[in-house]
Amino acid sequence: MQLFYTVRPGDTLYQIAKRWELPVESLIAANNITSPNSIFVGQQLSVPPGVDVIRVKPGDTIYQISQNFGVPASVIIQANEVQPPYVIQAGQLLKVPPGVPYYVVQQGDNLFQIASRFNVLTGGRSNFELIMKVNNLSSTVISPGMQLMIPYAPPGVRGLLAYTSNRSGSYDIWVYNPNNGLNQQLTNGLAESYSIPFWSPDSTKIAFVGKNGILYIISLIDGSIAQIDQFADGLGVFLDWSPRSQEIVYTKPNGLVFYNVNTHRARILNAPGATDAQWFPNGTELLFQQANIKGVSQLFRIKMNGTGKVQVTRNTGGRLNHVRLSPDGTYALYTTPGASISIIYSVNLATGNVIEAKGGPLAKNYFPTWSPDSSSIAYSATAFENIGYFSLIRTAGRQGMNEVTRAISDCFATPVTWSPDSRKIAYLSGCKQQSSSSEIWLLDLTHPVPIQLVEGGAITALQWSPLPITSLKKTFSNSIYKVRFQYPSHWQRVNDERYEGGDGFFQIAAIASDQSIDVVCQNEAFHQLNPYGTQPSIQHTQIQYHPACFIYPSQDQPVEMKNQAALIIKYPSPVLINGTEYNYFILWADQNHIREMSTSLTFL
């Protein structure tokens, strides 16, 4: 739930943000403030997670600290479970939350406005229903003085987040859907705390190293899980998919291993001691780390057949770690020399020029990751070491310029991952008392308010899908209607022709008509019962080179139709069902899913 600070006389947004070491832009976005000078005494502000721990100084009391931070003493007492007479000791670490976990309703407030003001939005729409749910409200009627808990809402953005967690009791690979807030478990006891999910570029498969060092590949189309190889130690294994999603490459002590997931054949390229192997976008060359003949760590590129090996870097220092090739293949980044000091460098692969990123204040910079458009780097930088470690979630340009702190995690370090559109980053937090992280957060760089997505269990790794898919898929096939297509895997079968889920549905049928596609679509769209409202729209198209049309509802569509849209396609040849010839196939589905489903539709 969100925490709320009450503005005091003399407060400014900058001062409030500084107390918890927050970017002021984050505080502004969290409250949708249009003018930074427009806050007023008594106003409640939602405060994003920041540095909420201090070290007690000699003479400090809880009352004094509460006055300095402008929060009730009861909040500090409760957060630290301090018992009467509420004595604290010099040197003690004390948690100071930025406020209370509720918003007090003001005169003129309504749930729609509150949700919009505090970013309880899904797909840009005010999700006031979620506020009603968490507060057990039976209606939208609220009154001044009511205390409302304000939750974080599924943001409604595209792409899926794969992550590793023990939330079910054992470590497994999970997927979170930010479009609807659903979590889905993909494995059953196969992962380890060190497991990292690696998406294929087409977002249909995930590879990871799990129990007993076994390399697994999950097919998200049919849910199958294959065992590929085994490592003596699975910790730190890096996997990379070929651009066409047909092969994975990884390193073993004797060299680079290529495994074709279609033919199930493997081959080895001699490269002793190599690590971080990954494909260039052309699919014919690789980048990897290896010691040169003098034993110094360098980056090399090589053709897949083992020819044309070229040294890229002229390193004279320590080992190059966490090597990552930019998606466009023009730059690479790495960290060096080790864990206690970890500095990020970016190298131009055409010139060999190396640029150092400024990084965080302690020179402990971890998990640098390229944005999909290759323009930016995101990483976590350890900070505030004297009070138990926090991480700055930072971004920088491809050459290390324009570094900005975007958010705060209460973990020593956290992996970060980019959304497919390069506009959002997700990261881990919730490291209570320096334990494992237990939360996933999202930040939109264009509106930088952190949104909590997942909470619970230990979470150790996460990766966003490369493509903006909106759900995991299963394949539906029907021999009577002669069609096959993919649908969200969490939808349940109602009957042979209909499947439903909490976020949508589909149903199939056929139309027996010898009229043109234009007439058939017009008749369906403007049926006398108005199933699509009074002003539906018709969009003519082709599906698999066959004439087709989409029918989308107007705003006055009856609520009981559940946002139904339709897709009508002319069969390649008439289909005979129970002795009747049908010339057209029709798919009914909610309009949020129908176009995506159409892209996989084929006739049997």
Lowest mean pLDDT among 83-92, 145-154, 376-385, 503-512: 83-92
Strand partners, 164: 173, 461
Q: Return the DSSP state at 212.
A: G
What span, in angstroms and rounded, lies between the C-alpha atoms of 408 and 50? 5
Domain 238-356 CATH superfamily = TolB, C-terminal domain (2.120.10.30)
Residue 221 pLDDT > 90: no
Position 596 scores a pLDDT of 84
- 62-69 and 73-80 helices cross at what angle (nearest 10)? 120
Pure H helices in 204-343: none
Residue tagged 């909420």 (tokens): 52
Percent of the chain with pLDDT over 90: 85
Task: Determine the number of helices (DSSP H) and then strands (DSSP E) in the chain.
Answer: 8, 46
Tens digits of residue pLDDT in 79-99: 998 999 888 899 899 999 999
Tens digits of residue pLDDT in 108-123: 999 999 999 999 999 9
Sign, CA dihedral 160-445-242-270, equals negative
Q: Which of 183, 196, 551, 224 has its CA nearest to residue 369? A: 196
What span, in angstroms and rounded, lies between the C-alpha atoms of 479 and 589? 20
Position 477 scores a pLDDT of 93
Residue 214 pLDDT > 70: yes
Asked if residues 494 and 228 have their Cβ atoms less than 8 Å apart, the reply is: no
The pair of three-digit structure tokens given for residue 340, joined into one six-digit string: 């206690």
How many C-beta neighbours within 10 Å does residue 296 have?
Answer: 15
Tens digits of residue pLDDT in 44-78: 999 999 999 999 999 899 999 999 999 999 999 99
What span, in angstroms and rounded, lies between the C-alpha atoms of 99 and 96? 8
Average pLDDT over residues 237-249: 95
Tens digits of residue pLDDT in 184-202: 999 999 999 999 999 999 9
Average pLDDT over residues 346-351: 93
Position 453 scores a pLDDT of 97
Residue 433 pLDDT > 70: no
Position 475 scores a pLDDT of 87
Asked if residues 566 and 581 have their Cβ atoms less than 8 Å apart, the reply is: no
Residue 330 pLDDT > 90: yes
The pair of three-digit structure tokens given for residue 565, joined into one six-digit string: 């849209």
Average pLDDT over residues 334-360: 93
CATH number of 3-148: 3.10.350.10
HEC states along 492-541?
Answer: EEEECCEEEECCEEEEEEEECCCCCHHHHHHHHHCCCCCCCCCCCEEEEE
Asked if residues 16 and 5 have their Cβ atoms less than 8 Å apart, the reply is: yes
Q: Answer left, alpha or beta for residue 83, where phi above 0 means left and psi between -120 and 50 means alpha.
A: beta
Binned at pLDDT 50, 70 and 90, residue 223 comes out as confident
pTM of the full structure = 0.84
Residue 495 pLDDT > 90: yes
3-state secondary structure of 16: helix
Domain extents for the chain?
Answer: 3-148, 238-356, 473-603
Asked if residues 162 and 174 have their Cβ atoms less than 8 Å apart, the reply is: yes
Residues in contact with 441: Cβ distance below 8 Å, sequence separation at least 6, in sequence order: 49, 407, 409, 426, 427, 428, 429, 450, 451, 452, 453
How many C-beta neighbours within 10 Å does residue 558 have?
Answer: 13
Q: Answer left, alpha or beta for residue 355, where phi above 0 means left and psi between -120 and 50 means alpha.
A: beta
The class level of CATH for 473-603 reads alpha beta
Asked if residues 412 and 431 have their Cβ atoms less than 8 Å apart, the reply is: yes
Chain-centroid distance, C-alpha 589: 26
Position 98 scores a pLDDT of 94
Residue 276 pLDDT > 70: yes
Position 517 scores a pLDDT of 95
How many C-beta neighbours within 10 Å does residue 244 have?
Answer: 12
